[in-house]
Chain A
Amino acid sequence: MKYPLSLTVNDENYDILVEPYHTLMEAIRDGIGLTGTKCACEDGRCGTCTVMVDGQLVKSCLMLGLQANGKSVLTIEGMGSPDDLHPLQAAFLEHGAVQCGYCTPGMLLTAKQLLDENPNPTEDDIRSAFVGNLCRCGVYTHATEAVLSVAGEENR
């Protein structure tokens, strides 16, 4: 049976109905209609569906929608807009860290949490952060450059 789910996504409130077995990813994509969050592997390995819940990074295919009840979710659409890109979004473009773009939303949110917690990450920190984000186009080298370019000066 469907249950009510109230949550905030990108500072907007939503009240939708979901099945208990529906994941947060399905709630965001199908229930709310925000399709920037992608689905790729369905078993929690690839990180394409990464979002933030109450400031914590999560793979939205691994959290039930109802577990996010009352919580605040940040998706790629809330990170920046075409007219007002987040510095990481701009850096990913500038440094060539985007190819097909399917994994990009998840990688950007991962990069955001890394810098939120550690404004001056080393390359090793960046690699550890991206372990859970697979990219078949292989943008890793450029993504590392992009994150370092936004990070503090001392580790460039």
Chain B
Amino acid sequence: MAVVGTSTKRIDGIEKVTGTAEFTTDIVLPRMIHAKLKRSPYAHAKILGIDTSKAEQMPGVRAVITAADLPDVRLGVLTLDEHLLAHDKTRLVGEPVAAVAADTPEIARAACEQIEVEYEELAPLFDPEEAIKLDPPVVLHEEYEEYEKLLEIAEMDERPPNLWQAYRIRHGDIDDAFKKAEDEGGYIIENRYATGYVHTACMEPHGAVAQWSSDGSLTLWAGGQSPYIARDGLAKALDLSPSKVRVIVPFVGGAFGGKLTVKEGAIAASLAHKAGRPVKIILTRAEDLAATAARTPFIFDIKDAVTKDGILIGRKVTSILWGGGYSGEGILKPIFSTHLYPGSYRLAALWVDSYGVYTNRVSGGALRGYGCAESAWAVETQMDIIARKCDIDAVELRINNLLTEGERTAITMPAHAFSAHECLTKCADAIEWETPSESLESPWYRGKGIALGNKYSFAPTASSTELKVHEDASCELRTSAVDLGQGAYTILTQIVADEFGIEIDQVKLVTPDTAITPFDHVAGSSRQTFHTGNATRMACDDAKRQIRELAASKLEADPDDLEVSGGRISVKGSSKSIEVEDLFVVEMLAGKRPAVDEIIGKATWEVTASPHDPNTGQGEEPMAYMGHGAQAAEVEVNVETGQVRIRRFVSAIDVGKAMNPQGVEMQNYGGGCMGIGIALHEDMCFDANGEMTNASLMDYKIPSIVEMPLNEYMESIIVEVPHQHGPYGAKGAGEIVVVPTSPAIGNAIYDAIGVRIWDQPLTPEKVVKAWKEKQASGNGSGS
């Protein structure tokens, strides 16, 4: 009864459809009070003084804190540049400067208004190209050199004062590539692309509940992506030993990269300590959108050398990430975004300079696709332009440039389980690529576009699980992997059911709680099926080994001759068997206990990696695996209003092995929906002072159902090219589904109306503008 590979209803579904699933926002504790944050109205200012006395005197206020109440430690992911509450300076609008806990959220909010902060406004810096100068008009972090840094960046003669990341790729002879293209009748194609400000905009806002015990230990409930990252972050921020911190992850209402750290949780914990009461903090939607980490923009300058036959022979890229006030979770983006420059293609020469800089806006964070979704916008639009320039079909051109199994990419990643060709051709077939779109009546135009994408899963990384076997032969999996909605709990349950030959409902999951469940790195980078899946399988093996050893004497057989399935242990090739229950004995007044030891399998799956040299981008095997996918869109464009409707959408992704095919389909459709939003509708807008002007779900436009194609025009294609190290051959699916979306749509718009829009999102305003420019110039812009 194979469960792995069959569509399985999500195991946490009953709670979710009946309203009994408890999210962080639903937690209520006795004597619990509520926290609100006082935030900076300035993008860049010195803090001269904070007067909290009025707030403290308000009835119902239980605690007020500022940076002075916190340990003087800087926090961060790899460059430690940020205080929990602003210290002497604020570097973005919305940076927290103080916090209040009070009997009700209304009182806490009113008390925040009574806190008086004296600021000295400083000139803000928003433009990344100004920020990266050696003599920038403004320096955000004067003390940068003193900061603790856990990652080496590329060597530079002189570091621009606002720069926090520099990474280079030096592969092949780039000058020779351009010379060759010029000399041999090829093409040099150079363009600038930009991505926009995008927010994860999870339906559940950020929040946490903090409670201290009398022994000085802290428990924090927070719906985040990694209880262990959260635990260590809290410990550092509050100057505690990690063993004093327990993090419990309730149901999580979406994360998409936005819930990696628990800054507001640490603030709530500090308030709870001061107030001597449990404290709950739930960000308002406006705070959530304007002041938690976002997918900040990139600028990409790409120059490609192509032979006249459409073979890519060299690529040179310079990119800048607008990093925001703090480096935060964006720290690795300038590195990981480079993975797409070779992507699935063979490149004899690749030369990249990738930077991250501070600007006085919201800090850069992760969002589904971590840098790859951004660089794919540039690379896959570029591929479309190259195809048109060379007059080669866009699918054929890509195929002609693909790597083959076993080759290494220009960043030394082995092309293994290399499914790009299959994804691309299946996707093209599904959208009837060979058949041009029908013509529509003016002002509507139709067109098709396609794009390829990759998502690498980072390494080094590790996942541990424990698997306890009960006397009724049911299994209990203890994991710190988090189900953010992607279906991780269901897949892990399927694995246990399969390994033990039991029913799904005989598997119980113990969900993340650092007091109970073992280490798991993070629910991110499309890693849980791959890494936690492997660890789970290994823990099952370990438990079964213990069972076989315990059963061997009872069955008078060698443990290696036994097999465990469906609650029975049997001797291979014989009818001799016992029940798992027979390994337990009755204890007076206490039911059953294990006859010897508890049967607990445990395992750790670890993937090491050789770090890239930041000066050359070369290493051994830098990532855990490389996933592939292709997407195609047919669009309808109204050149008068600029409206772009997605008529048809196909997503073909390689998951190695579809553990839960319905779950993959959910990622294909759901990722497509988010990808459509990012391509067309979503844009965090800012005023001249750096304040977000559309910080609501009314104005920050995640797609509604109407922005999606009709069901008959949505197609999910599952490609299965097994990975040698994946459990059952599986690879992750969570991020690749948004990587090719934007370029597929942009290429379709070009096919429809012959204009390129270089900067995301492709809003109606930009469509109208580009169309008018094309009409005025009498031809297409771009290509």
Contacts and interface: CB of A to CB of B under 8 A. Distances in A.
Which of A42, A48, A126, A131 is most buried by chain B, counting CB atoms within 10 A of its CB? A42
Contact of B18 (A42, A77, A126): A77
A71 interface: no
A142 B203 contact: no
Which of A39, A79, A100, A134 is most buried by chain B, counting CB atoms within 10 A of its CB? A100
B204 A102 contact: yes
Interface string B144-160: 00000000000000000
Interface string B22-51: 110110100000000000000000000000
B253 A102 contact: yes
A49 B674 CA distance: 22
A81 B126 CA distance: 52
Interface stretch (A62-70, A91-99, A113-121): A91-99
Nearest to B14: A82
Interface in A49-89: 75-77, 79-82, 85, 89
Contacts of A144: 705, 711
A136 B26 CA distance: 19
A123 interface: yes
Interface string A132-151: 01111111111111000000
Interface in B259-294: 284-285
Contacts of B235: none
A105 B204 CA distance: 13
B37 to A, nearest CB: 16
B16 A104 contact: yes
Contacts of A29: 26
B635 interface: no
B708 interface: yes
B702 A134 contact: yes
A12 to B, nearest CB: 15
Contacts of B256: 136
Contacts of B550: none
Given A41-B698, A96-B662, A85 B17 contact: yes
Nearest to A102: B253
B203 A103 contact: yes
Nearest to B664: A96
B698 A101 contact: no
A79 B20 CA distance: 12
A94 B704 contact: no
B666 A42 contact: no
B23 A145 contact: no
Nearest to A101: B16
A99 B486 contact: yes
A126 B708 CA distance: 13
Contacts of B697: 40-41, 43, 45-46, 134
Contacts of A134: 203, 697, 702, 704
B10 A98 contact: yes
Nearest to A93: B13
A96 B253 CA distance: 16
Which of A35, A41, A130, A133 is most buried by chain B, counting CB atoms within 10 A of its CB? A41
A113 B388 CA distance: 50
B708 A140 contact: yes
Contact of A40 (B12, B14, B18, B204): B204
Interface string B423-442: 00000000000000000000
B223 to A, nearest CB: 9
B484 to A, nearest CB: 6
Interface residues of A, number: 57
A137 B254 contact: yes
A123 B16 CA distance: 24
Contacts of B484: 100
A131 to B, nearest CB: 6
Interface string A5-36: 00000000000000000000000010001111
B204 A98 contact: no
B672 interface: yes
Contact of A99 (B7, B15, B666, B698): B666
B9 to A, nearest CB: 5
B373 to A, nearest CB: 15
Given A40-B203, A40-B204, A41-B696, A93 B285 contact: no
B19 interface: yes
Contacts of A133: 704-705
A140 to B, nearest CB: 4
Nearest to A86: B17
A134 to B, nearest CB: 6
Per DSSP, are chain A's interface residues mostly helix, strand or loop, or mixed? loop
A108 B17 CA distance: 8
A48 B254 CA distance: 13
A140 B713 CA distance: 13
Contact of A33 (B7, B28, B670, B704): B28
A126 B202 CA distance: 23
A43 B698 contact: yes
Interface in B681-733: 696-698, 702-706, 708, 710-711, 714
Contact of A43 (B12, B18, B203, B696): B696
Nearest to B28: A33
B20 A136 contact: no
Given A100-B254, A101-B485, A127-B706, A142 B204 contact: no
B671 interface: yes
Which of A40, A102, A123, A142 is most buried by chain B, counting CB atoms within 10 A of its CB? A102
B670 A138 contact: yes
Contacts of B702: 134, 136
A96 B204 contact: no
A36 B18 contact: yes
B203 A102 contact: yes
A40 B205 contact: yes
B265 to A, nearest CB: 18
A32 B599 CA distance: 43
Contacts of B703: 138
B377 interface: no
Contacts of B28: 33
Contact of A77 (B19, B284, B708): B19
Contacts of B705: 126-127, 130-131, 133, 140, 143-144
A140 B673 contact: yes
B711 A41 contact: no
Given A39-B25, A101-B253, A138 B674 contact: yes
Nearest to B484: A100
Contacts of A48: 203
Contacts of A99: 254, 485-487, 666, 670
B29 to A, nearest CB: 13
Contact of A136 (B15, B201, B669): B201
B22 A35 contact: yes
A131 B486 contact: no
B21 interface: yes
Contacts of B671: 138
Contacts of B21: 101
Interface in B733-758: none
A103 B202 CA distance: 10
B698 A141 contact: no
B251 A101 contact: yes
A55 B21 CA distance: 25
Nearest to B669: A141
A141 B12 CA distance: 20
A100 B666 CA distance: 11
Given A40-B285, A130-B704, A137 B670 contact: yes
Given A36-B19, A43-B696, A45-B696, A141 B711 contact: yes
A98 B203 contact: no
Given A100-B484, A127-B705, A138-B674, 6 more contacts: A40-B205, A42-B696, A82-B15, A98-B13, A130-B705, A138-B703
Interface of B: 7, 9-10, 12-23, 25-26, 28, 200-205, 251-254, 256, 284-285, 484-487, 662-663, 665-666, 669-674, 696-698, 702-706, 708, 710-711, 714
9 contacts: A35-B23, A37-B19, A38-B203, A98-B10, A100-B204, A100-B251, A101-B485, A102-B203, A144-B711
